[in-house]
Amino acid sequence: MTHPIIRFDHATFGFPGIVALEDITLTIPESEFVGVIGPNGSGKTTLCRAVLGLMAPLRGTLRVLDCACEELRCHHRALIGYLPQKGMIDRNFPVTVLEAVMMGRYGALGLFRRPTQKDRDIARQALTQVGMDHHRDSALGALSGGQQQRVFIARALAQQPRILLLDEPTTGLDLTAQHSVVELIQQLHRELKLTILMITHDINMIRSRVDRLVLLKTKLFAAGPPQEVLKPDILSQVYGKELVITDKDFVIVEDYHHH
Amino acid sequence: MLELLAYDFMQRSLLAAALVGAVCSVIGVFVVLRGLAFAGAGTAHAAFAGVTLAYLVGLPPLSLAIVFGLATVWITGWVEEKGRMKLDVSIGILYTATMALAILFLGLMKTYNPEVYGYLFGSVLSVTTDELMIIGGLSVVVLGTILLLSKELYFIAFDQEMAAASGVPARQIFYLLLTLVALTVVISLKTVGAILVFAMILIPASTAYQLTHSLTQMTLYSMLIGVFCAVSGVLLSYAFDLPSGPSIVLLATSLFFLAVCCSPKRLHRIQRA
């Protein structure tokens, strides 16, 4: 097995009086593409924040990049590229595409140091990797939702990360843009051998692309290759009436809370 | 008009106005983008409460203005960070409480003191050399800090959690920003006054926001607008015998509405629609 880059060991996360994720034991080796699924409130975003070192476990341990998550320092975090949920970013912020991607370099640069030509080259390369270099001088707010997601993926890539954390990267995009973004993520995984954790509601979109699926409902319900996790009896226990299976190979999760 | 520049008081006033215009408009970019508009207004009134207490107990006015201003922004930041209360509610409470303190301290003064009211309404034409030195020193501190940490300040204004996740010490930078806001308010009290200082933070940055999609350009435009309005406002106030604070702010407000009408961003949106 490849060296584990993320390791949960009976880890519980939450806030005083609220348990968001309970007793999670999960090891993610380097270069694995993991999809994280589960209904709303199942702890997917908490898992993301924990890996980013923004939450300490109430019980158990979480080690990321060989470091306890509560001790993750700035230089560790700079190795984790993060794409937050779409609604969490002000899309009209006055920033050009290149300025937004350059922000990915700031953590690695450290305080008081100005970006150099090398940083600009890395940002340009990241933009090229997501096919957006020709838009580098455009206003971020002038781009379509799918193009903006590509820019934010480029921002994460500009960190030169070892782990890429994507929190619902296709939410709010039209179907074409969803396919395009997921294909880009798969291509980046293939070419850069990044460890990718992708939180999503869209099981259909990622089932054939990820190495492993993790199914959450406060606890770790199932983890394994998609064909082992996407079984009607397992899914119906987690999603209940929200789950509709149209035939043997096609699974739709109606996310009622989302609409 | 040129003979005005021969007067010492006018030289001091114009220099003070230019410094305040520059500092307010640059910090204003981060205040506007980070959504701290109301926090700045609360800080200005808290700083005025500090000034009134200082006059009451016989201390240098700016010393207690700094203490009150810093206490207000730090409590505001802590409340936002902990998510215990909506930011506008906590600031609203502090805003009114500190204003009540200021009125209380004014009431406790045995005699009418016009200098105190200078801090409320602004009196740039009466800035002394000592006050100018303090304004200059604090302006260098605020602008120097922004220059050194501009990339981190931009990032937390864009998305604080993403900045933290990317390895930027976002929490510390956020509190530093709040500290700079408080210092900026204190610097500006004598020039534009507690009531109008916040307009000088908000309006030039909001005007620049209408004109560009680039962070760097927004900061540059904001500073140019801030300095222009501050200096022109002082000259207008002298020429037409008007109060200086309102002259500066109303000039800035006029530019804001002009920028809204001519905003390339707005015109582009209309064209696209």
Q: What is the CATH number of the domain that holds B31?
A: 1.10.3470.10
Contacts of A167 (CB under 8 A, 6+ apart): A44, A45, A48, A82, A83, A84, A85, A199
Report the pLDDT value the prediction gives residue A179, as an integer from 0 to 100: 87
Q: pLDDT value at position A259?
A: 40
B38 domain-assigned? yes
Average pLDDT on A32-57 reads 90
Structural domain count, chain B = 1
In a mutational test of the A interface, the residue from B150, B166, B172 whose CB has the highest number of chain A CBs within 10 Å is B166
**In this complex, how many residue pairs, one in chain A and one in chain B, have their CB atoms less than 8 Å apart?**
95
Beta strand segments in A30-186, E: 33-37, 59-64, 67-68, 80-83, 163-167
Q: With contact defined as beta carbons under 8 Å apart, do B188 and B66 qualify?
A: no
- Look at residue B140 in the predicted model and tell me its pLDDT: 95
Residue A70 forms contact with B (CB below 8 Å):
no
Q: Which of A99, A162, A166 to mutate to test the interface with B (most CBs of B within 10 A)?
A: A99
Residue B60 within any structural domain of the chain: yes
B272 in a domain, yes or no?
A: no
Mean pLDDT in residue range A31-52: 91
Q: What is the pLDDT of residue A245?
A: 63
**N- to C-terminal Cα distance for chain B?**
47
Residue A30, Ramachandran bin (φ over 0: left; ψ between -120 and 50: alpha; else beta) = beta
Burial (CB count within 10 angstroms: exposed 0-12, middle 13-18, buried 19+), residue A15 = exposed
B196: Cβ contacts below 8 Å, ≥ 6 apart = B121, B122, B245, B246, B248, B249
Tell me which residue in B166, B214, B265 faces A78 most closely, judged by beta carbons.
Answer: B166
Q: Cα separations (Å) of B69 from B29, B63, B183, B199?
A: 19, 10, 8, 17
Q: Of A31, A43, A36, A41, give the one whose Cα is nearest residue A226.
A: A36
B252 found inside a domain: yes
pLDDT for position B57: 92
Q: Which amino acid is at A141?
A: G
* Chain segment A215-238, per-residue pLDDT in tens: 999 999 999 999 888 888 888 888
pLDDT at residue A257 greater than cutoff 50: no
pLDDT one-digit tens code per residue, A156-210: 999 999 999 999 888 878 888 888 889 999 999 999 899 999 999 888 888 889 9
Interchain pair A82, B155: CB under 8 A: no
Q: Are A111 and B169 in contact (CB < 8 Å)?
A: yes
The average confidence (pLDDT) of chain A is 86
- DSSP 8-state assignment for residue A83: E
Residue ranges of B 59-118 with Cβ closer than 8 A to chain A: none
What string of H, E and C letters represents the secondary structure of B174-239? HHHHHHHHHHHHHHHHHHHHHHHHHHHHHHHHHHHHHHCCCHHHHHHHHHHHHHHHHHHHHHHHHH
B205 part of a folded domain? yes
What global pTM score does this model have?
Answer: 0.84
Q: Which residue has the tokens 């500066």?
A: B248
Nearest CB to A74 within list B168, B265, B268:
B168
Which band of pLDDT confidence, cut at 50, 70 and 90, is reported for residue A54?
confident
Asked if residue B134 belongs to a domain, the reply is: yes
Decide if B273 is inside a domain: no
Tens of pLDDT, residues A10-28: 999 988 788 999 999 999 9
Integer Cα distance of A57 and A217 in angstroms: 17
- Are A103 and B151 in contact (CB < 8 Å)? yes
Which pair of tokens denotes residue A64? 């990321």
Q: Please give the pLDDT value at position A24.
A: 94
pLDDT of residue B112: 82
Give the per-residue pLDDT at B175. 93
**A16 at interface of B, judged by CB pairs closer than 8 A:** no
Query: Considering only CB atoms, which chain A residues are within 8 Å of B213?
Result: 94-96, 138-142
Structure tokens given for B178: 């709040």
Q: Determine whether the interchain pair B166/A99 forms a contact, defined as Cβ–Cβ distance below 8 Å.
A: no
Distance (Å, whole) CA A128 – CA A147: 13
Q: Measure CB to CB from residue B215 to each of A77, A94, A115 and give the nearest one.
A: A94
Banded pLDDT at A258 (limits 50, 70, 90): very low
- For residue B83, is it within any domain? yes
Residues of B in contact with A94 (CB under 8 A): 33, 209, 212-215, 218
Q: Which residues of B touch A90 (CB under 8 A)?
A: 158-159
Which of residues 129 through 168 in chain A touch B, CB cutoff 8 A?
138-142, 159, 165
For chain B, 273 residues long, give each residue's pLDDT as a single digit of tens: 667 788 888 999 999 999 999 999 999 999 999 888 888 888 898 999 999 999 999 998 889 999 999 999 898 888 877 776 777 788 888 888 999 999 999 999 888 888 888 888 888 888 889 989 999 999 999 999 999 999 999 999 998 888 988 889 999 999 999 999 999 998 888 888 888 888 899 999 999 999 988 888 999 999 999 999 999 999 998 889 888 888 999 999 999 999 998 887 766 666 665
3-class secondary-structure state, position A90: coil
Phi, psi angles (nearest 5°) of residue A112? 70, -10
ipTM of the complex: 0.79
Q: B214–A78: do the CB atoms touch at under 8 Å?
A: no
Q: What is the pLDDT of residue B41?
A: 82
DSSP state of B113: -
Domain that holds residue B222: 2-267
Q: Is the pLDDT of residue A256 over 50?
A: no
Cβ separation of A111 and B213 shorter than 8 Å?
A: no
Whether the per-residue pLDDT at A214 is higher than 90: the answer is yes
Instruction: Return the residue of A nearest to B205 by Cα.
Output: A94
Instruction: Give the torsion sign (CA, A89, A133, A194, A203).
Output: positive
